[in-house]
Chains A and B, each alone.
Chain A
């Protein structure tokens, strides 16, 4: 089970926010890697990959996005929030098959 908090978040442009994703079991795979990833889904669009394996930014993702964490607790941080950052953020674990978190909606304050 993947639990994301908060469910919704309000931010001012230029501000910083954090999204949490907690797993009910350790996401450390037997190969030693941790398979926790982050996606952003803007309104009316399909999801796009932001961060893979906890902290690696996908191609074209600005360095305002950063991921951290280990074991069961993970965080996505967004600094200097811009209008294009608004939408719903999902974590995905693929250590134990594949499960998405419930999502965190980022809105403007």
Chain B
């Protein structure tokens, strides 16, 4: 059974940093691309970043480029999202998601971790 579990969320002040983790199980982690998708309170879904199965390719939405860094450690079956220079508009539940085999959609999601950016 595919399982994705996020951790690392919490309350952080504007301008500060936070690092999210997502630990995977139930599949061969290094065979799949991974992603982060977020959802602001009462709002819709928004893709944030993706990383290829080997980690050599990364992709970001414009609003987080230069501030967020996606990475992965295949030995630990874990992906990360380093979030720097956080803004109030980054407040959201952050979901870890697995890309399907060819990367075109997300087939499994974690339960999410909440990030609140506020002073």
Contact = CB atoms under 8 A, between A and B. Distances in A.
Interface string B25-48: 000000000000000000011110
Contacts of B100: 52
A90 B45 contact: yes
Interface stretch (A9-17, A18-26, A79-87, A99-107): A99-107
Contacts of A69: none
Contact of A46 (B44, B95, B104): B95
Interface in A22-48: 35, 37, 39, 41, 45-48
Contact of A35 (B46, B104, B111): B104
B44 A48 contact: no
Contact of A100 (B46, B107, B112): B46
B53 interface: no
Give the one of B45, B50, B95, B109 with max A CB within 10 A. B45
Contacts of A47: 45, 95, 106, 109
Interface string B75-119: 000000000000000000001000010001111111110000000
Nearest to A37: B105
Give the one of B95, B106, B110 with max A CB within 10 A. B106
Contact of A49 (B47, B50, B105, B112): B105
Nearest to A33: B104
A37 B104 CA distance: 9
Interface of B: 44-47, 50, 59, 95, 100, 104-112
